[in-house]
């Protein structure tokens, strides 16, 4: 799932607004700290440009290929990533708010189905 979101984000297929805001904020700080941009506006313009012109996706694709991944991974990620054999929507019996959840048990259930990493990395 992480790679699907990354590829969709980098190619512009779908950019979750909250993820976009956080990503831009972090990357702006990196560009300014690395003296690659003089201020917030310049950093944002540079970041938006590499997203819009495909350079960010291209660089990610080269990173995947450098680690012995497929050279067309970004363009064809669905071809390489496994899909869930079963999906099921779960709905609440009543209206309200979730006040607590056993997130460890939920995470271990996901691991048991083949998702995540059992070591917690």
The predicted structure's pLDDT at residue 121:
47
pTM (2 decimals)?
A: 0.68
The answer to whether 78 touches 7, Cβ cutoff 8 Å, is: no
Residue 118: pLDDT above 80?
no
Q: pLDDT tens for residues 59-117?
A: 999 999 999 999 999 999 999 988 777 788 888 889 999 889 999 999 888 888 777 76
- Domain positions in the chain: 2-80
Give 119's Cβ-side CA count (13 Å radius).
Answer: 1
Q: Output the pLDDT for position 117.
A: 65
Average pLDDT over residues 46-62: 97
* CA-based nearest residue to 32, from 24, 43, 20: 43
> Residue 117: helix, strand or coil by DSSP?
coil
DSSP state of 106: H
What is the reported pLDDT for 22?
A: 96
């Amino acid at each position: 799932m992480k790679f699907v979101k990354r590829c969709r984000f980098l190619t512009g297929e779908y950019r979750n607004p909250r993820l976009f805001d956080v990503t831009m904020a972090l990357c702006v700080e990196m560009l300014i700290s690395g003296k690659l941009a003089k201020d917030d506006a310049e950093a944002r313009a540079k970041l938006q440009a590499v997203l819009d012109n495909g350079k960010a996706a291209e660089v990610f694709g080269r990173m995947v290929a450098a680690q012995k991944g497929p050279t067309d991974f970004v363009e064809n990620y669905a071809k390489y990533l496994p899909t869930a054999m079963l999906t099921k929507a779960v709905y609440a019996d009543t209206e309200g708010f979730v006040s607590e959840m056993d997130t460890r048990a939920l995470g271990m259930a996901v691991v048991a189905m083949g998702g995540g990493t059992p070591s917690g990395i």
